[in-house]
């Protein structure tokens, strides 16, 4: 397999996420908050010099969604198949809050079609949650759109073609300083909601309080969009959210972890180890042997297309106890940390659609179905689509197609079928 083929396949392989937090509380100061000026990585691995745009200011606005800076987004190779003649692309930095409520700077990209939206509402906005990009700053979607490795064009392009504005966040610590808080429920959900707020604050976006909003994401993005849907009512009640389209959501990370430990997707387990340990103030070093510490340092700057470098590894060879990482999930404090990331315990503020392939080989189908059931129990209107296209990768294209139909109905004020009777 050629290097370019590996990159293409790995990029298409999308993102899966599993939370594998480790015990041991680490001290933290302002330098340890990803998305703040001078933040260090959890492993103290130096980050390559980033473009000046991605350096957070010394003082971050305390109001979430405040626009810090913006500039035209350079789509040098036009990986989304879009043209400046039909869409305006703007790179932004905006304020958000992390899982502890601390102000952070997050980057992202806003796309606004130049064509007139012909639906019955004002132009809708899709706040798009990307699937796993990796841990390194160069992996941020707003940077990968300068090359041909940003697979999320699969979902973004059809939305723009329908006349929707689309804003896609880079999440906490991805592009900006510090360790990316990969698959951390609150940080990801808030980044998605604050991306919508920042789009409203962007001069020329045409998005105001009256424009309808949809949340959308697959895999890691499905978890982030699901978290955002749950948080919206309390965190961002002013947003005019009409619905959320969620694909293959890793809502129960303990079950996902057991499924992918030692698989092709082992790299993502390591990404999650660092991301959640960073957010929880956990020091992983006591639980990693020399090989494990080296592995953790290596992945700090890796992207999704590096997954082949870590495929099918025995995670027990990286721990001091010899236990597999997934085995630690059943032990305290690991179990409590995993439970804090559960999605399905809060109530979305608008109808949701969940799309999940029955033969998903990464995020178990039962996890997505249980999320739908949990939300139904809380009175949410849930449309659940069981996909027939096999594998996790294969489930993304059907998810996008079903999401477009869902949003077409929601923005027109119509509901799709309620599946709660069969969940």
pLDDT band for 422, please (50, 70, 90 cuts): very high
Place of tokens 């659940």: 384
Please name which of 204, 221, 180, 193 lies closest in space to residue 41, comparing C-alpha atoms: 180
Instruction: Report if pTM > 0.85.
Output: yes
Q: What is the pLDDT of residue 26?
A: 39
Average pLDDT over residues 305-315: 86
d(Cα 374, Cα 68) in Å, to the nearest integer?
37
| Domain 3-253+339-422: homologous superfamily in CATH | Alpha/Beta hydrolase fold, catalytic domain (3.40.50.1820)
pLDDT band for 332, please (50, 70, 90 cuts): low
pLDDT at 236 over 90: yes
List the domain boundaries for the chain: 3-253+339-422
> Any bridge partners for residue 125, and if so which?
165, 213
Please name which of 125, 67, 71 lies closest in space to residue 96, comparing C-alpha atoms: 67
Pairing of strands 165-169, 213-218: unpaired
Average pLDDT over residues 228-257: 95
Helices 290-299 and 266-280: angle between axes, nearest 10 degrees: 90
Count H helices and E strands in the chain, helices first.
Answer: 11, 9
Which of 28-42, 49-63, 221-235 has the lowest average pLDDT?
28-42
| DSSP strands (E only) in 209-257 | 213-218, 241-247
17 contacts: CB under 8 Å, gap ≥ 6: 132, 182, 183, 219, 220, 223, 250, 253, 256, 268, 271, 272
d(Cα 228, Cα 224) in Å, to the nearest integer?
6
pLDDT band for 319, please (50, 70, 90 cuts): confident
CA 241 vs CA 21, 120, 166, 222, 353: distances in Å: 32, 16, 14, 16, 13
d(Cα 106, Cα 53) in Å, to the nearest integer?
11
pLDDT at 19 over 50: no
Q: What is the pLDDT of residue 331?
A: 67
Q: Identify the residue with better confidence: 226 or 286.
A: 226
Highest mean pLDDT among 19-23, 73-77, 103-107, 274-278: 103-107
Q: What is the pLDDT of residue 25?
A: 37
Highest mean pLDDT among 103-112, 283-292, 311-320: 103-112
Pairing of strands 125-129, 165-169: parallel
pLDDT at 76 over 70: no
pLDDT band for 16, please (50, 70, 90 cuts): very low
Place of tokens 């597999």: 324
Pairing of strands 87-97, 67-72: antiparallel
Average pLDDT over residues 47-53: 94
Q: What is the pLDDT of residue 22?
A: 36
Place of tokens 């905006």: 94
Q: What is the pLDDT of residue 254?
A: 83
Task: For residue range 392-419, list pLDDT tens digits in order.
Answer: 999 999 999 999 999 999 999 999 999 9
Q: What are the two backbone dihedrals, phi and then psi, of residue 304, each rounded to the nearest 5 degrees?
A: -60, -35
DSSP H helices in 140-184:
141-144, 153-161
Q: What is the pLDDT of residue 15?
A: 38
The CA-based angle 409-152-81, given to 5 degrees, is 90
Please name which of 188, 248, 199, 241 lies closest in space to residue 348, comparing C-alpha atoms: 241
Mean residue pLDDT of the chain comes to 88
pLDDT at 29 over 60: no
Task: For residue range 333-360, list pLDDT tens digits in order.
Answer: 667 777 888 999 999 999 999 999 999 9
- Percentage above 90 pLDDT, the chain: 66
- The sign of the torsion formed by the CA atoms of 388, 390, 391, 397 equals negative
Q: What is the pLDDT of residue 270?
A: 79
pLDDT band for 79, please (50, 70, 90 cuts): low
Residue 27 CB neighbours (<10 A) = 7
Q: What is the pLDDT of residue 14?
A: 39
Q: What is the pLDDT of residue 148?
A: 64
Dihedral through CA 291, CA 293, CA 298, CA 299, nearest 10?
110
Task: For residue range 183-230, list pLDDT tens digits in order.
Answer: 899 999 999 999 999 999 999 999 999 999 999 999 999 999 999 999
Q: Identify the residue with better confidence: 285 or 83.
A: 285
Residue pair 108/168 in contact by the 8 Å Cβ criterion: yes
Average pLDDT over residues 360-377: 97
Task: For residue range 116-134, list pLDDT tens digits in order.
Answer: 998 989 999 999 999 989 9
d(Cα 5, Cα 98) in Å, to the nearest integer?
36
Residue pair 419/384 in contact by the 8 Å Cβ criterion: yes
308 contacts: CB under 8 Å, gap ≥ 6: 6, 10
Q: What is the pLDDT of residue 80?
A: 67
């Amino acid at each position: 397999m050629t290097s370019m083929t590996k990159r293409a396949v790995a990029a298409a392989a999308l993102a899966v996420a599993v939370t594998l937090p480790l015990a041991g509380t680490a001290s933290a100061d302002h330098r340890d908050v990803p998305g703040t000026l001078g933040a260090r990585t959890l492993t103290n691995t130096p980050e390559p010099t980033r473009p000046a745009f991605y350096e957070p200011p010394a003082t971050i606005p305390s109001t979430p969604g405040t626009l810090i800076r913006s500039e035209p987004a350079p789509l040098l190779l036009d990986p989304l198949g879009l043209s400046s003649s039909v869409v305006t692309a703007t790179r932004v930095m905006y304020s958000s809050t992390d899982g502890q409520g601390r102000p952070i700077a997050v980057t992202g990209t806003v796309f606004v079609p130049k064509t007139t939206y012909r639906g019955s509402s004002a132009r809708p906005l899709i706040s798009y949650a990307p699937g796993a990009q990796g841990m390194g700053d160069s992996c941020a979607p707003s940077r990968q759109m300068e090359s041909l490795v940003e697979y999320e064009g699969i979902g973004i392009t059809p939305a723009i073609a329908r006349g929707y504005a689309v804003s896609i966040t880079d999440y906490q610590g991805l592009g900006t300083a510090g360790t990316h808080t990969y698959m951390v429920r609150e940080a990801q959900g808030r980044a998605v909601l604050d991306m919508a707020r920042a789009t409203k604050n962007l001069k020329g976006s045409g998005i105001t309080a009256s424009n309808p909003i949809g949340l959308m994401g697959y895999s890691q993005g499905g978890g982030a969009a699901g978290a955002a849907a749950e948080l919206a009512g309390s965190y961002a009640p002013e947003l005019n959210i009409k619905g959320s389209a969620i694909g293959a959501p890793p809502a129960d990370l303990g079950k996902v972890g057991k499924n992918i430990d030692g698989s092709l997707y082992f790299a993502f387990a390591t990404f999650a180890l660092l991301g959640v340990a960073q957010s929880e103030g956990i020091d992983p070093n006591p639980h990693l042997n020399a090989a494990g510490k080296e592995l953790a340092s290596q992945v700090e700057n890796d992207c999704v297309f590096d997954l082949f470098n870590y495929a099918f590894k025995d995670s027990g060879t990286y721990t001091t106890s010899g236990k597999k990482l997934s085995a630690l999930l059943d032990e305290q404090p690991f179990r409590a940390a995993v439970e804090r990331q559960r999605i399905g315990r809060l109530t979305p503020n608008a109808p949701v659609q969940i799309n999940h392939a029955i033969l998903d080989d990464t995020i178990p189908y039962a996890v997505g179905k249980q999320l739908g059931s949990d939300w139904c129990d809380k009175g949410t209107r849930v449309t659940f689509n069981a996909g027939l296209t096999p594998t996790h990768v294969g489930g993304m294209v059907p998810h996008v197609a079903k999401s477009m139909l869902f949003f077409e109905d929601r923005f027109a004020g119509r509901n799709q079928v309620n599946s709660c009777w069969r969940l």
